[in-house]
Amino acid sequence: MAKRETDKIFSGKSDKVVVASKFKPLRRAVRIPVWGDLSIRLGLALLLISIVVLIHWFDRDGLVDSVDGEVSFLDIVYFTMISITTTGFGDIAPVTDSARLIEAVIVTPIRFAVFFIFVGTAYNFIIKRSWEKWRMARIQEKLSNHVVVLGYGISGSQSVEELIERGTDARNIVVVDPSEERLREAEKLGVNVMAADATRDETLKAVRIEEAQTVLVSAGRDDTSILIVLTVRHLAPKVPISVVVRANDNELLARQAGANNVINPVRFTGLLLAGSAKGAHIAEYLSDLASVTGRVQLVERVVQEGECGGSIAELSTGGRGLRIYRNGRAIGYWEEECQSLQEGDVIVEIVATENGSSKGDGH
């Protein structure tokens, strides 16, 4: 299947093909939206100017208008603006000691405050944002050991939230999806996002896929997900890939495309249903194992140096060892090989999480 014929689910439309040859650069959400920041700054500046207008109005007897000798409210507004902006035409001036004291003690600090507000606004909208774009470009160029999430639908969004719950730094996660609406939701979590088509080579190269720690694929359609896996595997032969597929006959195709882990949510749901038929608490425990917010959690890790030679029943983490992986072979805790752990073994264990207060990483 050609790449230009497969991005249906990524466009969010099943009957329209969208070809995306370009992508927007990597970005990260700011704490306050642009217009919100601008509104706050302008509101504060107007408040300070209004305070100066009121001060001048109540002390208008200390001002002299050299043109007509009368200080009206319009004159007060005019004098306030030229005073705040330090223009100073000299047609209206403070003449009494109290008026000059007010100008020196109250109006001058407010003048500096308004000045810094406008200077800060110019910095934020011109210099700072240009700097932020440059900084994100540099971050993008140096991405390494990061988690790349391709597709931010239901599965993708839940996986990102779970990764953050488990202690992964949100700044170390990159989400790629063509939907700006979905990316805005991802930005709220503090992750890096890119609006792009994940089936394109240039997109994956832009997020430095070859330097990623792992890649999670959930495009919403099996054909698109498998194509993404093929593209990722072509560009990053050694990076672990996990993919979501929904049809049983596509699981083998996903593995042949290069996926290390294939998750079938339909099959998992069936397992939960079957478990609930055999016991009221089996499904609950399986769900508990899958999430860091439960009381227990499954953890996969490499055997520690001090555990070599010991039994899987005596792990330094205090967890319950279930199996080890040695030379690509799964070995159950009841088998003889598990009684003597070796360097390089990968352990799958159950650890307590104390209802999510611990990250469940076995440490």
pLDDT in tens, 209-246: 999 999 999 998 999 999 999 999 999 999 999 999 98
Q: What is the pLDDT of residue 45?
A: 82
C-alpha to C-alpha distance for 153 and 250, rounded to whole angstroms: 19
Going from the C-alpha of 275 to that of each of 101, 244, 331, 333, 350, the distances in angstroms are 82, 22, 24, 22, 19
Q: What is the pLDDT of residue 95?
A: 82
Q: What is the pLDDT of residue 14?
A: 39
Q: Whole-prediction pTM value?
A: 0.56
Q: What is the mean pLDDT of each run of 10 residues along the chain (363 residues)?
A: 40 38 53 64 84 88 81 86 77 81 84 77 62 62 86 88 86 89 87 88 88 92 93 94 91 93 82 74 76 79 91 90 92 93 93 61 45
Q: What is the pLDDT of residue 96?
A: 84
The residue type at 86: T
C-alpha to C-alpha distance for 345 and 328, rounded to whole angstroms: 10
Q: What is the pLDDT of residue 259?
A: 94
C-alpha to C-alpha distance for 153 and 224, rounded to whole angstroms: 13
Q: What is the pLDDT of residue 180?
A: 85
Chain position carrying tokens 């470009």: 137
Q: What is the pLDDT of residue 34?
A: 56
C-alpha to C-alpha distance for 318 and 349, rounded to whole angstroms: 9
